[in-house]
Amino acid sequence: ADSFLARELVPGDVVLLNVGDRVPADIRLFETNDLTIDESSFTGETEPAKKNIDSVIRPNGAHSSNTNIAFMGTLVRCGNGKGIVVSTGTNSEFGSVFKMMLEEEAPKTPLQKSMDSLGTQLSIYSFGIIGLIMLVGWIQGRPIMEMFTISVSLAVAAIPEGLPIVVTVTLALGVMRMAKRNAIVKKLPTVETLGCVNVICSDKTGTITRNEMTATVLVTSDGYIAELTGAGYNDHGQVLLHKCDFPDKARESVHQLLEVGAVCNNASIINELLLGQPTEGALLAAAMKHGMYNVGDRYVRLQEYPFSSEQKMMAVKCSSKYDRDKGEVYFVKGAIEKILPKCTSYSWNGNVTPLTAAKQQEFMAEAHEIAKKGLRVMSMAKGTTLQDLVYVGIVGICDPPRPQVREAITILKESGVQVKMVTGDSVDTAVAIAQLIGLEVLPSQVMSGEQLDTFTETELDEAIPRVTVFYRVSPKNKLSIVKSLQRTGHIVGMTGDGVNDGVALKKADIGIAMGKNGTDVCKETADMILV
């Protein structure tokens, strides 16, 4: 296969996709091998989208429903595939967002509006004074030219020539202060707008959260509960056990649980950079926080049963490199409803205990409780055969909020600024994160993008000010939310990091982009960049 610049691609070209590749155009896939693509910058969904070659008869309009298309600008997380280019440049989905952005004009800032108003008023007053003086002079019989000269002199004196300089210097000082706080301001009047904002619409994935899956809680089969601190694909954090009678046995149980997650795993973390699936990266990071590095290297992998959407589980058959007993052992992870039926026993303080129906229900209830908090539940088991497994526990994984987000939202609320979350993610995840950061999530305050599509402008203007969480929203929905708030007299700040935020960032009174993980589209359209 030849390699050449992506800009030279034309519809009809065949493209090969591998792990780590950026998709160069919109591609209709005709061959996939466990292909998953991170579309979070496009759709706002944290979980990578699984791709296949099946026909999609009637997509529901959301990008996530087009399971046979790889979108331009997205990232291949796992597997590989081949496809034929169907659209490039401005004809691609990425391009359609860009076109929407070009069609929208950035609004004038409150300072620019008040300066325009002041200029208009001064002009009217100046012309009025000129006319009045000319009239008085004419009545008194004075020379017209002399009166005209006096009138113009008075008009010039009335214009505050120093005002633009004073305003510019004051704003420049504000920009310098913001720069010291790691905020790059691209336009001077933005500084003043920031002080006028009374509604902030924030994207979730990558803005409120880090867009890095993290294991936050684990429950072992013998009932020990631990919380994990830190976020991201690194070992910065601790495994904090809840109060228990046998801390040594609890540590051993946690070790056994995390060992399964780290061995039954195809991801790797190099210098805090993840290669592979985010969920598997979260399990590796959890093991590292427990002091378990390169656990997979202690075993020889003999066979792998890859994860599939039907099986909802992954298994590996291994033998130990260093033990004299070279017996084969299966490490299994996946959905608890698929793994528990294959378990005949469970681990209890180092001993294997037969699994009863009552205990099975208890484990299911534990998993359900964690899932209700918006976490993805991953269960673990191991054993000598796939039909005779020993259940070892569950891990709860989510994309947690950044530190200090809750405090920042509390300060904003106390200052009279409304905060609204606008995300492309599912309702459960959106509500769970909203509760964690202190947003109110009554049923009447949660609305989907599909509902917004059915509303007229008047209905939007009535509904949007009351809602705090918008989920499953498209770039067009985000734009309509910002426009509606502006129509109802609000000064709107928009924060975001993905391609899907670009249009709303441009239309908002102040667009704020994330510097470290934000896309170039966002940084280009935003008025301010947080670094």
DSSP string across 46-103: SSPEE------SS--SSGGG-TTEEPTT-EEEEEEEEEEEEE-GGGSHHHHHHHHHHH
Beta bridge partner(s), residue 85: 27
User: Between these two residues, 218 and 110, which has the higher pLDDT value?
Assistant: 218
- Evaluate whether 469 touches 431 at the Cβ level (below 8 Å): yes
pLDDT at 233: 87
pLDDT in tens, 394-425: 999 988 888 889 999 999 999 899 999 998 88
Q: What is the dihedral of CA 128, 134, 136, 141, to 10 degrees?
A: -170
How many Å separate Cα 438 from the centre of its chain?
Answer: 18
Specify the DSSP class assigned to residue 8. G
Q: Is 323 a catalytic residue?
A: no
What pTM, to 2 d.p., does this model score?
A: 0.74
- Spell out a b/e string for 429-457, using b for 16 or more CB atoms within 10 Å of the CB, else e: bbbbbbebbebebeeebbbbbebbeebee
Q: What is the pLDDT of residue 284?
A: 93
- Rounded to whole angstroms, the Cα distance separating 484 from 475 reads 14
Question: Among the ranges 3-17, 51-65, 236-250, 251-265, which has the highest mean pLDDT value?
Answer: 251-265
Residue of 13, 34, 116, 203 with catalytic role:
203
Cβ atoms of 207 and 188 closer than 8 Å: no
- Using the predicted structure, report yes or no on whether residue 60 has a pLDDT greater than 60: no
Nearest to 496 by CA among 193, 206, 109: 206
d(CA 116, CA 122): 10
State residue 63's pLDDT score: 60
Handedness of CA 52, 54, 55, 58 (dihedral sign): negative
Tell me the CA distances in angstroms from 387 to 338, 343, 364, one per residue in order: 12, 7, 19
Pick from 86-90, 94-98, 284-288 the range whose average pLDDT is largest: 284-288
The distance from CA 109 to its chain's CA centroid, rounded to whole angstroms, is 27
pLDDT in tens, 301-349: 888 888 776 778 899 999 888 776 667 899 999 988 889 999 999 988 8
Q: pLDDT tens for residues 90-131?
A: 888 888 877 877 777 777 888 888 888 888 888 888 888 788
pLDDT tens for 261-282 read 999 988 888 888 888 888 899 9
395 close to 283: Cβ distance less than 8 angstroms: yes
Instruction: Report the percentage of the chain scoring pLDDT > 90.
Output: 23
